[in-house]
Amino acid sequence: MRSAAIFGALVAGLVCAATAAAQNAAPRMYNTAKVKLARGEQIVGGTVTTANPEIYCAMANSGFDFLWIEMQHSPLTYQEVARMIWACRGAPAMPFIRVPDSTPGDIQKAMDIGALGIILPLVDSVEEIRSAVEYTMYPPAGKRSLGNGQYGALYGSDYRQTANANVLIVAMIESPAGVAIADEIARVPGVDVVFAASTDLGSFSGLRQGQADYEALVTNIHDATLEAGRRLGGPLAWRNRKDFTFFQAPTEATFIRLGVEAALKAAPAGQAPVEGAER
């Protein structure tokens, strides 16, 4: 009996030790875009505005690091986006969603259907970005609740333990009001990227790129972001600007047009390709 008790205590001790080690181990990383960004590499995301899964998969397998799924300025629904992400599960480009608004409902729906990046538009208050981060993260880091979703089937049975580490949060500054508190926005725990929204900075300020006052807005965002130790985002056209590492590329319609133009110019003469081989 005494030997059995000792053996039982030994087994229990080993189980506790293994559990503690698992809890202290670094979480599994599957958001390759976030890993690259953490290494200081530039990452680029193509913008998706249509619900066609084949177009989504073409974009997801074309060389982008992530896809900027545009739900703020498109009629895309969460059900449509869920189908798109599922249709191309395992693709190299990570699914990021620009949510329609920074509400708990929008953010949690986006996470539940499989987003690994949450892009928050029109951030111009610290309270807004803090709340958005909270509802992106599971407790104890945040307030995201458990619910039905396809995330487990996409990312594994340990999703609950790995989700917080893998999500990438982007705060978009689009107005002078946001620029004025860029330092506070950038310092909010959980924010990974501060994005200088080139078009709306001009729209809200009445200024144009290249003008001194416009460039001063961008410089303020740049300095506040780097001082807080965050990454800096902007349009792909700004890829040569100093310290920018996160980029939004144009929409699928633009790339279809560019691809058609390039294909027509390079179309070979001679034997016709086998139908379906291009896939």
CB 56 within 8 A of CB 5: no
- What 182-185 contacts at long range (C-beta under 8 Å, 24+ apart), as own/partner pairs, is 182/220, 182/221, 182/224, 182/225, 183/224, 183/227, 183/228, 184/126, 185/123, 185/126, 185/129, 185/224
- Report pLDDT digits (tens) over 57-79: 999 999 999 999 999 999 999 99
C-alpha angle 228-229-231 in degrees, rounded to nearest 5: 110
Per-residue DSSP letter, 2: H
The predicted pLDDT at position 276 comes to 75
Structure-token pair, residue 228: 């807080």
Q: Report residues of the chain scoring pLDDT below 50.
A: 1, 7, 9-12, 14-22
Going by their DSSP bridges, the two strands 66-70 and 94-98 should be labelled as parallel
The predicted pLDDT at position 277 comes to 72
The predicted pLDDT at position 243 comes to 98
Three-class SS of residue 74?
coil
CB neighbourhood size of 73 (10 A): 11
How far is the CA of 230 from the CAs of 57, 162, 172, in angstroms? 30, 21, 13
pTM above the 0.75 mark? yes
CB 135 within 8 A of CB 143: yes
CB 235 within 8 A of CB 250: no
Per-residue DSSP letter, 42: -
Structural domains of the chain in order of their starting residue, each with its CATH number: 29-264 (3.20.20.60)
Answer yes or no: 222 catalytic.
no
Residue in 252, 218, 210 with CA at minimum distance from that of residue 234: 218
The predicted pLDDT at position 272 comes to 73
The residue type found at 194 is V
Diameter of the chain measured on Cα atoms = 86
Structure-token pair, residue 11: 């087994």
* Catalytic residue of the set 28, 73, 160, 239: 73
Structure-token pair, residue 67: 């896809």
**Exposed/middle/buried for residue 83 (C-beta within 10 Å: 0-12, 13-18, 19+):** middle
The predicted pLDDT at position 278 comes to 63
